[in-house]
Structure formats: C-alpha cells, structure tokens
Copies of this chain bind each other. A is one copy, B any other.
Amino acid sequence: MSLDPSRLAPMADAIRALSMDAVQAANSGHPGMPMGMADVATVLWSKFLKFDPSAPDWADRDRFVLSAGHGSMLIYSLLHLSGYERPTMDDIRNFRQLGSPCAGHPENFLLDGVECTTGPLGQGLAMAVGMAMAERHLNAVFGDELVDHRTWVIAGDGCLMEGINHEAIGLAGHHGLGRLNVLFDSNAITIDGSTDLSTCEDIPARYRATGWHVVECDGHDFAEIEQALAAARDETTKPSLVVCKTVIGKGAPNKQGTAATHGAPLGDDEIAAAREELGWNHPPFEIPQDIRDDWRATGEAGKSAHGEWKQRLSGHAMANEFERRMAGELPDMGEIEKAFAAWLDDDQKVATRKASQMALEVINPLVPETIGGSADLTGSNNTKAGEIGPFTADDYSGRYLYWGIREFGMSAAMNGMALHGGVIPYGGTFLIFSDYCRNAIRLSALQQTRVIYVMTHDSIGLGEDGPTHQPIEQVMSLRLIPNLNVFRPADVIETAECWQLALQDKYTPSVLCLSRQGLPQVRHDGDMLSAKGAYRLKAADADRKVILIATGSEVALALDTAKALEEKGVGADVISMPSMELFEQQDEAYKADLLPDAAPSEILRVSIEAGATLGWERYTMANGLQIGLDRFGASAPAGDLFEKFGFTVDAIVPQIMNKLKA
C-alpha cells in the first residue's frame, strides 16, 4: 500500500479523535499514548503489518503487541478502523464500561486481534519475544511456505525501565530475532513527569550492547517513520529497536508534551482545541467515509497474502500436523498413558523432579510441540529430557531453551509462545523464584494459556540452601491465583498424572511443585486419580476417627502417621490432594465422601503440608489441625529440618491424640 502523507495524516487523526473522545466519554483512560503514536501506528498498519481483518486467527499473520497497554484506545482504534468485526463503534463508545470488549487495558480473551493482555509494563515486549521465538521455531519445522511472519511491538518508557525489559531483550539479542521489531514511543514523559526525574540512560546504546539493531526517527514525520520501519524490517539477523521521537498527546495544543495527557481525559475545552488544531471537524465517534475507506484498504495486502498462503497450505505435506498444532489439539496420548500405567507395577523411590524428567522422557518424543527449558537450573529442574536439542540462533528447530538467569523473562516469553500457538512451552526454576515471575504466572492464568511451570525444590526438603531458597508460602499463594492449576504430586505416579493433566488443559496454566528429595512410590493402582484433585489413598482400618490430608512429600508421612494411629486403634484415612483446584471442581457427593460433614470430636481432619497453614482450614475446618510451617526455614540437611519443624510421625501423632481427647 502506498498512501501518500496527505492521506496518512487524516488516518492518524482518526485515531487521535477516537482516543480522546472515548477517554472523555469514559471519564477515565489514557489519551496521551495513542495520540502520540498515531502517526507511527498508521504507517505500520498501512505499509508493513501483514494482517487480514476477516481472519484474525490466520496462523501466518504478523503479531502486533501493544506493550504499553494503557494506550488501549490505540489498538481499539486500529482494529475498528481497519475492519475487524469487533470492536464496533458502539464498543468504542462504551470504552471501559461493563460488557464492552474495549476494556481499560487490552484483553486477549475479549477481542480478536489483541494478541495478548497488556498493562503490566514490560511484559508485552517480553511476550513478543516469545512469539518471535515460536515463529522461528515453527518456521524451522514447517518451512517458509507456512510460517514466515514478523512480530511488531509498541513499547513506552515504562516498558523499557522495568527489569523484565533487560531479560527480554537479552533473550532476543542472543537468539538473533531479526523478525522482532520494537517501536519505542520515546516521548520523554512518565506519570511523574519528565523521564529526567528518574533515568538518564542512553537507551540506544544499551540496546546495541545487548545485540540489537537500533534506528531512530521523528515519530511525526511519515517519511522518516517509513524509512525507519523499512530499516527494521530489512535487518533480519538482529532484533530492531525503532526509537520514535514523539510528543505525548500530540494534537492537544495546550497539554501535549506533558504528563497531563498520560492518564486522564483531556477535558471538553482541550478536546475542542485539539479538533481545531487537527482540523478535525467531525462529531465524536464519526469517521468520514474517505478516511474510513483508506483505513479499510490497509487490510487488502494482507487479505491477498492470506489467500496465497491458503493455497500453499492446501495440499502441503504437513498441513494436517500444522493445523493440529495451531489448533492446540494434542496428538493421540495412548502410548503415553500406556507407558505411565506400566509404572504402577514398579516401586520407584525418586524425587518428583526426577519423576517429572521421566515423564518428559515419554512425553517429548510423542508430543512434538513441547518446547522446554530452564532458567539456568537444567540439572536441578530436570527439564531436559527426551533427546531434545538446544534452540539457538543457528538452529531454531531445537526444543530446549537455556533461558539464562531470567525467571520473569522466561515466563512471559512462554506466555507469548503459547499465545502464538503451535507450541506448548514448559519451563523450570526453583519454586521459591515463582516470586520473581509471579505476575507472568498470573498473566498465564488471566490469558488462559497452556504454560507449564516446572518448579522444583518445593519445600524445606531442599535442605542446606536455607530460608532464601525454601518455599514456605509459595504453594498456597499460587493456589490463590484464579484459573491456575497448582499440582503438588506425591510420587512418580502422581507426577505423571499431573503432567498429563497439565498438557490436556488448553486454557489453564499449571504449576508443578516438585521435590528435590527422593519420595517413595505411594501409588500402585488406580487410573488418573489426580484428575479428581484429591482422593482417598488409604481407608481407615479401625473405626475412622481421623482424616489426614496431605500433598507432595508429606503424603508418605501421612501414611506413616496413619499407620502409627491405627496401631493405637485410631482409624485414619489418608487423602492425597495433588490439586486443590481440581478437587474444588468435583461434585458435592464426591467431596462429602472424602470429607464427610462431622464435628471434629467425631472425625478430626488434619492437614500435613510443609508450608504455610493459612488456607488449609477450608478442608480441616478451623478447629481441625493444620500441620505446617508458618515461619521461615533454616539451613541444614533436609532430614534435620523435617525433624526440627515437626514433620515426623513422633511429633504429629501426639498432637492428634491430644486433639482427639480435647
């Protein structure tokens, strides 16, 4: 498309008008960024971005990520103007109102064309890195005919100041992601005022030092913008940063260039002045037909590219496999299930991190879309399995990622990979460092992505590394995140089951909490019991007086405790609860069978988990007994710690007996 500047300017002003009017109508929002980046976005959309508004899920479309998600009116304007079915003008009129897909920040689950949820700064860019990695990987697997697209990002000063920026661009530079282009909205303004208040870094120099190609342009000069974007596009061995010098709120004559335009409506007077300044004489939410036509034309090139692509796909030898993978459908799991079922007959004492590796040895060869890695703890997380080779700039077909010491960057990139589609990412770190990537885990959940977190060293059982490395509150705190399955398997069997459940859930991310220390095999029968979230592993021999509920490494301890209780004539059930979330989804009858409604004096419920107790009262009742750890750990061998903190039969049984007497 080769529109001349005289036609681009009104197109950009249409974005400005929609943005300022929608924010004003909502009486909240961020007009400054869309108005500042309107010119750049117009050039990108009309001359570079490969997209087909009639097919937002076309696999080979370019991905566009608005990392500076607060400027959401920019993407809503772009999608509407270029002819996506949604948002409609009514949707835009209802910006930020209940029920409108035009939410305060862009949400991938509300609108096609929104590739990912953004707002938490820096993560959009990091997700884009993952998308660009997925693209190169699928290109290596399926070839140029099927996969050959770019990832474009708009990011602001906030995105570039966040720590995750360092991790993300380090990955992109290291992997030579030449098809990743970041358009930096360099307006020198943050919420608090001038960027001089808080930073004096030379951003281009930093990006160059990290292996990036950097170009600059006046973000309000269409020719310069086009030249810069072309230079970014043409550099194919390095990711590109396009520094777009812009004026925040451009077009609002009295407020532009100031923080006042960032996050508040401009006000009626300033909007009137902006209309004057821009020569935009149209009422709110009305776009003249000629401008609308020019916008509609931006999708034409993409539509025809899409047509050609469909030709190439039909009859392609790998078409079925490609479509299966892009649809997120698993291959037949029969062989995997068979392999896991055979383990029931063994009696393997292994750490669940090792069991996870054993599961992956089975899974990875049979599920070619897995792409795994670790944040520099490969040998500890046991994530490398099944003969997968490294993903490198020289060979993108590799399925193993050395993420480096970048937990947050890894997690956000995995979100991007999953959102791109065609791959199922899993990544490892120590469970304690879920704290470092917590908001990316939350975005996995919010965005409904199938990302699998392999988090090992899941309790004081890690031993000598001490309190900085010992999770206490992590397992329970992850359970608090909506739409996240937290698994804490007890042995090799549950670990395999949990891996299978994680793979099978297309819209819910999973965290596997795995032990460093060896755990005895507690299961020798039963088919996929973990799917219920919790199940009765052992029924009381004597008259049931106690129900022990345990997870992970404490299930074996619960079994030993039950044995000791039975020897005293106290009947005790043992319930293994690998996932609270899945248990919550069971029907009332199932729940009541496991946890019958009875006063503690009749049946005492006891939870055993080497972590925070707050939350366990849901299952033990407040006057049950919660065996756990509500303080920081200590540095010592694991056995000494379990002893010190009371995770032994000898320490637990008397507490139960006392409680029964009370």
Contacts and interface: CB of A to CB of B under 8 A. Distances in A.
Contact of A473 (B96, B405, B433, B482): B482
B482 A198 contact: no
Interface in A463-478: 463-469, 472-473, 476-477
Nearest to A156: B405
A376 interface: yes
Nearest to A166: B166
Contacts of A402: 192-193, 197-198
A464 B104 contact: yes
Interface in A154-171: 157-158, 161-167, 170
Given A167-B161, A632-B446, A632-B483, A405 B190 contact: yes
Contacts of A619: 622
A318 interface: no
A626 to B, nearest CB: 9
Given A104-B464, A641-B98, A163 B404 contact: no
A209 B200 contact: no
A469 B28 contact: no
Interface stretch (A220-228, A248-256, A434-442): A434-442
Interface in A575-628: 597, 612, 614-615, 617-623
Interface stretch (A116-124, A338-346, A356-364, A496-504): A116-124
Contact of A467 (B107, B165, B191, B403): B107
B482 A472 contact: yes
A482 B632 contact: yes
A500 B105 CA distance: 36
A158 B376 contact: yes
Interface residues of A, number: 109
A119 B615 contact: no
A88 interface: no
B635 A96 contact: yes
Nearest to A445: B632
A29 B472 CA distance: 21
Contacts of A404: 161, 190, 197-199
A622 B632 contact: no
A436 B120 CA distance: 9
Nearest to A476: B480
A96 B435 contact: no
A119 B483 contact: no
B162 A167 contact: yes
Contacts of A69: 468
Interface string A627-658: 00011101111001100100000000000000
A408 interface: yes
A303 interface: no
Contacts of A634: 98, 103
Contacts of A324: none
Contacts of A614: 476, 479-480, 615, 618
Contacts of A117: 467-468
Interface in A233-280: none
Contacts of A192: 374, 376-379, 402
B191 A201 contact: no
Interface string A509-524: 0000000000000000
A388 interface: no
A332 interface: no
A618 B622 contact: yes
A210 interface: yes
Contact of A206 (B98, B210, B405, B476): B210
Contact of A201 (B209, B473, B597, B620): B209
Given A120-B468, A463-B28, A464-B29, A211 B205 contact: no
Given A26-B464, A170-B199, 16 more contacts: A99-B636, A105-B465, A107-B467, A120-B435, A121-B405, A162-B405, A165-B166, A173-B201, A199-B404, A432-B439, A435-B439, A438-B438, A479-B614, A482-B630, A614-B618, A617-B618
13 contacts: A69-B468, A99-B636, A104-B464, A120-B432, A162-B166, A174-B201, A198-B404, A202-B209, A202-B210, A203-B209, A435-B442, A443-B468, A482-B631
Interface of A: 26, 28-29, 69-70, 96-100, 103-105, 107, 117-121, 157-158, 161-167, 170, 173-174, 190-193, 197-203, 205-206, 208-211, 374, 376-380, 390, 402-406, 408-409, 432-433, 435-436, 438-439, 442-443, 445-446, 463-469, 472-473, 476-477, 479-483, 597, 612, 614-615, 617-623, 630-632, 634-637, 640-641, 644
